[in-house]
Amino acid sequence: MQHRIYLDHNATAPLHLAALEAMQAALVELHGNPSSIHRDGQRARAAVEEARREVARALGASLTEVVFTSGASEANNLAVQTLHRALPPGRAIAASVVEHPSVLAPLRALEAQGRRVVWLDVDPLGRLPAPDALAARFAHEDVGAASLMLANNEIGACYDLAALAGALSGQGVWLHTDATQAIGRIPVSFGALGVHLLSLSGHKLGGPKGVGALIADPALTLAPLLLGGHQERGRRGGTENVPAIVGLGAAARVAIPEALAAAPHLAARRDRLWAGIQAAGLDACRQGDPAACLPNTLSVRFGGVDGETLLMNLDLAGISVSAGAACSAGSLEPSHVVLALGVPPEQARGAVRFSLGPRTTDAEIDATLDRLPAVVARSRIAS
């Protein structure tokens, strides 16, 4: 049987063994409701709080700043609603046009209801304007809050939110960052970034699906999406998913340091993959800024190829990759991120994303390069 090669870690990372073992123990041993006052409930509560401690420690936050959610999409929606509630009607919220759909959609909904939104374009490499230029624009357009991702999930572009926070000092702008793709790939510290809200997802960093967190500065009052319970200090109603939260805590403790240690090796393998694609003469264009890119992410546009056809043929060849955000799979429209780079729609459809993980090997990169020319050729014939 052909060895399958998994190069889709930005869509979801394999569950780390430490997270699996922690979740198995929680499923067997922690059956109490963490809101119950009896001993079984308090054991579950202690496990949730230990996981909160691990997440806080890994991301340079305090215990009270960590709010568990069902994932980054919920965390992003909670963040956007919180920014909206924090501002008077006349002030604007800013966001880049390459944000994740879970930021774009709630902002567009608010815009339809009358909230002014300032949309920030990127250049052909996916870069935002310099922090000082953004700060000047925010002042000119009366921007009171902004949601800007720390790293883009499709092209791997990294953004200097710490520099922007410094440039905005004194302007009274609330900052949210979706750090989902950055955590475990570049160092991330909530305190050092200078933002007020930070979203993360468990399954992107070796934890389970269905759990995430919003880290929130206590100076900013959250606007709960789920009402009716006092859980998470009244910030997110509903009984906590104890096994998933425990798994997230274990991933924060073990998987994040392991992934950060592997980052230089990931960058070398990513560059090895790109060099091989270039050497094969596949009429390929790299997307994003190589100088400020996640170490594991390579976005490539192949000329004359439909991305969906290429993905299917790669899958048949035993290679798992994505065309863009996993939550947009099945859409016939080209990626909004690639279009934002100024790429024509007919060319944008030829984009695919290779995203590596700590256990990706040189042999797997070489095997991908061996299979890729025939796959691209077959995809061009079929397109």
The continuous run of DSSP H or E covering 271 comes out as helix 256-279
Quick one: 363 exposed, middle or buried, by C-beta within 10 A (0-12, 13-18, 19+)?
exposed
Residue whose entry in the numeric block shows the structure tokens 């050729």: 377
3-state class (DSSP) for residue 287: strand
Residue whose entry in the numeric block shows the structure tokens 């991120």: 337
Alpha-carbon gap, residue 229 to 233, rounded angstroms: 9
Pairing assessment for the beta strands 297-302 and 351-355 based on DSSP bridges: antiparallel
Angle made by CA atoms 9, 198, 297, in degrees to the nearest 5: 25
3-state class (DSSP) for residue 1: coil
Quick one: 7 exposed, middle or buried, by C-beta within 10 A (0-12, 13-18, 19+)?
buried
Exactly one of 158, 285, 293, 327 is catalytic; name it.
Answer: 327
Is 327 a catalytic site residue? yes
Say which amino acid occupies 375: V
Using H for helix, E for strand and C for coil, what is the string for 33-65?
CCCCCCHHHHHHHHHHHHHHHHHHHHCCCCHHH
CA-CA distances (angstroms) from residue 261 to 21, 143, 184, 357, 382? 22, 38, 9, 12, 41
Alpha-carbon gap, residue 65 to 129, rounded angstroms: 30
The continuous run of DSSP H or E covering 159 comes out as none
The continuous run of DSSP H or E covering 355 comes out as strand 351-355
Cβ(242)–Cβ(36) below 8 Å: no
Beta-bridge partner residues of 284 = 302
Q: Which residues are annotated as catalytic?
A: 327
